[in-house]
A = this chain, B = another copy of it.
Amino acid sequence: MSLKHAILVLLETEPSSGYDLLKQFNNSLGYFWNAKHQQIYQQLKLLSAENLIEYKLEEQHGKPDRKVYKITKSGVAELSSWLNNSVKPNKINDALLVKIYGGHLTDADNLLAELENHLHLHQKVLLQLKQIEQKYLNLTEELKEKYKLPYITLRRGILGEEAWLTWADEAINMIKK
């Protein structure tokens, strides 16, 4: 389980609320990690109980108060020690491929429509990632050096999405033919 460490890594960069983390995962970092809001809030609670993170309340009127979490010294220690262990290759469970594999039980139009849907989503994501990349590329050399590692992960997102789109194109043509 490394939702825990995904959260620690983000908090190590910048203090955030659960909601902020959620948005990061949903928007920019979806190529990286995904989680529902409940999972994040639960995990923050646990991390808090373990003293790996701590929070300050930011009072608001009407809305629930924001809990802004930051990583503690022992949080950094935990993260560092986790980083010294090796990680497992990530697990792929791709329902779209299941659907295509068994696609002879349905009609080609269904498959094509599904592919087109996913295509639009992936195109949108790729665009977003490329916009983030542009911002990075416009930074000074110094800042580029500073954010090099996150940028490498962004490149994974971009190359991954591009490959996905290449495949989808091929797939659509093969199904149409």
A30 to chain B, nearest CB (A): 7
A89 touches B83 (CB 8 A): no
A134 CB-CB contact with B under 8 Å: no
Interface centre among A12, A79, A101 (most CB of B within 10 A): A101
Q: Number of contact residues on A: which range applies?
A: 35 or more
A95 touches B87 (CB 8 A): yes
The one of B98, B162, B171 that contacts A152, using a Cβ cutoff of 8 Å: B171
- A residues near B (Cβ < 8 Å) are 2-3, 5-6, 8-9, 12, 30-34, 76, 79-80, 83-84, 86-106, 110, 114, 117-118, 121-122, 148-153, 155-156, 159-160, 162-164, 166-167, 170-171, 174-175
Q: List, in ascending order, chain B residues with CB within 8 A of A83's CB.
A: 99, 102-103, 105-106, 110
